[in-house]
Amino acid sequence: MHSNGGLGSGIGSDADVDALAQLVADAEGAADDARLAQIREVRVLAAAGALAERQASGASERVKAREMALRGIAAELAGVFVATDRTLQRRIDEARDLVDNYPLTMAAWEAGRIVRAHVRVIQEVGCIVPAADRAEFERVAIEKCEGETPNRVRDALRMLAERLHPRSFTERHQEAVTGRCVRVQPGPDGMSDLIATLPTVIADGIVDRLTRQAREIITARAQPDAPAARADANGAAPGIPAARADANGTETDADTAIRVGSSFVDDARTIDQVRADVFSDLLLAGTPSLDPTDAGDGDGTLGAIRAHVQVAVSALTLIGEDEGPADLAGRSPIDAATARELAGNTTSWARLLTHPVTGTVLECDTYRPTNAMIRLLRARDRHCRFPGCRQPAIRSEIDHTIAASDGGATRVRNLAHLCKRHHDVKHHTRWHVRQLTGGRLVWTSPTGRVYREDAPPPLVTFTATDPPGPETPPF
């Protein structure tokens, strides 16, 4: 959590804001021109596919004839688009599928209601939806896309498509999990990719634990008093063997590398590099080779770190009356059986009290929020609340919408999750935000453009038989 400060009212003069406003206007025109050009290209490519179909219509081996006709047309168009004929053939197939099977999406795109990236998400996710249900999928998907960035709606559309699939997500997951495996893909320069195909919740938990351990190492190396950084009288760090010398009393290059690589001296590894090193340590030795918090009497903080995952699951799924997928925040759907297993192993529960009509989270059953408030905010926000961002709430910071230094209260109605990047944007640029009831944020850009950021809809709501009257408290 941070309050307003630093650069005050923001970066840039009024003249800069005017210049930015002109850039925004130009960008709108350019985006509109690009949209029209993209639509024209898709229709041209779809027409090419239809032409190949017509050319093959009278052939005895229609499938082969269509393929040959398509190859010839793709080769012709490849010169125009400066691409390979294989690439053009794939794009022709995609365009034909879009025009023939997603007419509502094409109409919404042509009307400017959605953009090309929305169209890709709808087409990519909608491929599992039966043809009879596709129109309903399109209708709901387009409504969800309007006013939202494509990365924000992807998971919601996945959940929608999964519920329309003729086979339950749980059934398909049980079948897919039999294909779990680990494989090595050799790469250049003596490197390889170690690829593990795992259930999503397991993979997400692994990455979360590695990230938190890597951050612990990076934080410790920045502390001058970190145990691993302190040297003894001989200049060696505790737990790190002194360098061995050769017959001439000279320290060997290998031993020097061990000492430097095993201490925090001049450790400038990125978080990706630290994550990879910890991953290797855990698999090869069962514990990180260097734990700056290990006092010698058991696991230190690093070894004690466990993975955190955030799952939103409906009550009906928990009691086994619904096999619909649960939502792994910031990632993708997980099967109902895994969600129930996670729920059964948790040590605590947070029941959400929601608005009887809208379903918005209201409350959960000083400057720093209480643990209950943190649980509520994570459940309500689920991700960073800056327009378009999907950084999970568990990796974001809790911000006072009205800064505490300006009298802002530490109440749910004045708190929201922002990732580090957008937390800085809020406090050090001319972006402004107001929080309305139900966790709705209204952002205003430096040029005066307004973006409404609603709290993600919950997967389950608790409704009263009779909505509370004005004299009845909401909980």
In a domain, 190, yes or no: no
Distance CA 355, CA 363 (A): 9
Task: Give me the amino acid identity at 232.
Answer: D
Shared-domain flag, residues 62 and 161: yes
pLDDT at res. 472: 42
DSSP for 82-140 reads TS-HHHHHHHHHHHHHHHHH-HHHHHHHHTTSS-HHHHHHHHHHHTTS-GGGHHHHHHH
Shared-domain flag, residues 240 and 135: no
pLDDT at res. 365: 44
pTM exceeds 0.85 for this model: no
Residue with tokens 């919408």: 401
Shared-domain flag, residues 36 and 156: yes
Distance CA 266, CA 271 (A): 15
In a domain, 18, yes or no: no
pLDDT at res. 224: 55
**Domain termination residue (choose one: 280, 304, 328):** 304
In a domain, 14, yes or no: no
Residues 138-144: contacts with CB within 8 Å, 24+ apart? 138/102, 138/103, 138/104, 138/105, 139/104, 141/105, 142/104, 142/105, 142/108, 142/113, 142/114
Shared-domain flag, residues 144 and 219: no
> 217, 274 in Cβ contact below 8 A?
yes
Q: Both tokens of residue 167?
A: 């086979």
pLDDT at res. 290: 52
Q: Both tokens of residue 349?
A: 């529960």
**Domain termination residue (choose one: 286, 304, 322):** 304
In a domain, 329, yes or no: no
Q: What angle do CA 369, 371, 373 make, to 5 degrees?
A: 55
pLDDT at res. 234: 38
Q: Which residues of 12-30 are buried (b: 16+ CB within 10 A; e: fewer)?
A: eeeeeeeeeeeeeeeeeee
pLDDT at res. 193: 92
Shared-domain flag, residues 384 and 448: yes
Cα-Cα-Cα-Cα torsion 337, 339, 344, 349, nearest 10 degrees, comes to: -160
Q: How many CA atoms lie within 13 A of 329 on its CB side?
A: 25
Shared-domain flag, residues 162 and 209: no
Q: Which residues of the chain have pLDDT under 70?
A: 1-12, 59, 222-266, 285-315, 318-319, 327-332, 342-367, 458-475
Q: Which residues pair with 353 in a beta bridge?
A: 363
In a domain, 88, yes or no: yes
Burial of 203 per CB tally in 10 Å (0-12, 13-18, 19+): middle
In a domain, 23, yes or no: no
In a domain, 441, yes or no: yes
pLDDT at res. 339: 74
Distance CA 340, CA 360 (A): 23
Shared-domain flag, residues 161 and 222: no
Distance CA 298, CA 296 (A): 6
Average pLDDT of the chain to the nearest whole number: 77
Distance CA 175, CA 167 (A): 11
> 327, 459 in Cβ contact below 8 A?
yes
Residue 250 DSSP one-character state? P
Shared-domain flag, residues 226 and 142: no
For the sheet with 441-444, list strands across it.
Answer: 432-435, 441-444, 450-453
Shared-domain flag, residues 164 and 203: no
Closest CA to 364 of 355, 352, 374, 354: 352
Residue 442 belongs to what domain range? 353-453
Distance CA 254, CA 244 (A): 9
Shared-domain flag, residues 236 and 291: yes
pLDDT at res. 230: 40
Neighbour count for residue 333 (Cβ, 10 Å): 20
Shared-domain flag, residues 164 and 204: no
Domain count, the chain: 3
In a domain, 185, yes or no: no
Q: How many CA atoms lie within 13 A of 191 on its CB side?
A: 4
Closest CA to 459 of 361, 390, 368: 361
**Domain termination residue (choose one: 168, 183, 207):** 168
Shared-domain flag, residues 44 and 108: yes
pLDDT at res. 169: 80
